Amino acid sequence: MSSFWGPPHSYDNGASVIDLGVVLESGDAPDCNAKNGFFATGHGDFSVVLDRQKQYFYFLFTNYGGDVSEQGVVTARLAFADRANPAGAVHKYYRGEWIEPGIGGHMTPVFKANRAWQREDADSHWGPSMHWNTYLERYVVLMNRSCCKPGWPQEGIYLSSTIDLADPTYWGQPIRILSGDQIGHRPGYYPQVMGVEPGGTDTLAGAVARLYVHGRSTWLLRFSTEEDETVNPPEPDGLPDPSSGTELSQTRVRLPKGRQ
């Protein structure tokens, strides 16, 4: 994918939609010598959340082309007030500022590629999926990682968190929560959570969430903090009934809480 289209708008509950135009585009020419086998350039595999103050929509997505210094998981934002007219209103994060245009602008990666996507042995996180975690009071992202072999196999699923989307330097070092072998089915791409508490979605979850990989969930993801060594968070409603015979593997991740 080389560009993102603005969210279609509807005044009749989806019977018809209005195209709001392209909001993100790489501007890089396709590299016909790329050896990745799938990507010659472009942006793709994006996730969008509205911040808690309802000031900006934040995009996390993968940049697959251009210079390696701008490849990896990158970010951009759109002011909430511009949601009805997003074309030309999205700005990419670059060198500490949200100044570069969404169409063709430069980017400073949040999680930079270690080896370029043009190589057959690319090493990079990709395919971010963000949510707000009500238990941690932090934004959490899940990502894939391709590492060092032809065909960009799934090396593992990684997780990071932040207190402030407006400052991308706050994202923590990604930690691996599942290896490629632990996933157990192929392709093991596109991790995302689904909140199990009332109102839970793929962008809103709590202390326990269903973990989906490539549309399939055989895991529970439990978030914990140092405080949880003595105080365990309550079990939410919405989990499978053990008597039903449904067995889910459990993965526990310890992260900071609040503004730590």
| Alpha carbon distance 22, 27 (integer Å) | 12
DSSP state, residue 169: G
Candidates 3.40.462, 1.10.3470, 2.40.10, 2.115.10; correct CATH number of 3-254? Answer: 2.115.10
pLDDT in tens, 59-68: 999 999 999 9
pTM for this prediction: 0.89
Instruction: Work out the pLDDT band at 151, boundaries 50, 70, 90.
Output: confident
- CA 60 to CA 127: how far, in whole Å? 9
Question: Is the pLDDT higher at 4 or at 109?
Answer: 109
Range in 108-112, 116-120, 144-148, 237-241 the model is least confident about = 237-241
Residue 9 carries which DSSP code?
B
HSE on the CB side for 195, CA within 13 Å? 18
How large a percentage of the chain has pLDDT more than 90?
64
pLDDT at 245: 44
The pLDDT, as a whole number, for residue 72 is 97
For residue 213, the 8-state DSSP code is E
Those residues with Cβ within 8 angstroms of residue 195's Cβ, 6 or more apart along the chain or in another chain: 131, 201, 202, 204, 205, 206, 209
Task: Between 3 and 36, name the one with better pLDDT.
Answer: 36
**What local confidence, expressed as pLDDT, does residue 248 receive?**
65
Q: Pairing relation of β-strands 216-224 and 249-254?
A: parallel
Burial grade of 48 (CB within 10 A; 0-12, 13-18, 19 or more)? middle
At 172-220, the pLDDT tens digits run: 999 999 998 888 777 789 999 999 999 999 999 999 999 999 998 889 9
* Averaged pLDDT of the chain: 88
CA distance 167 to 60: 13
Confidence at residue 243, expressed as pLDDT on a 0 to 100 scale = 47
The three-class DSSP label of residue 57 is strand
| Rounded-to-integer distance, Cα 105 and Cα 66, Å | 11
Average pLDDT over residues 131-144: 96
pLDDT at 6: 60
Residue 205 three-state SS: strand
Q: What is the pLDDT of residues 39-58, one digit of tens each?
A: 889 999 999 999 999 999 99
Which pair of tokens denotes residue 13? 């509950």
C-alpha 146/C-alpha 141 separation (Å) is: 16
DSSP letters along 103-139, please?
Answer: BT-----SEE-SB-TTSTT-EEEEEEEEEEETTTTEE
Q: Where are the domains of the chain?
A: 3-254
Report the half-sphere exposure of 62 (CA within 13 A, side-chain side). 24
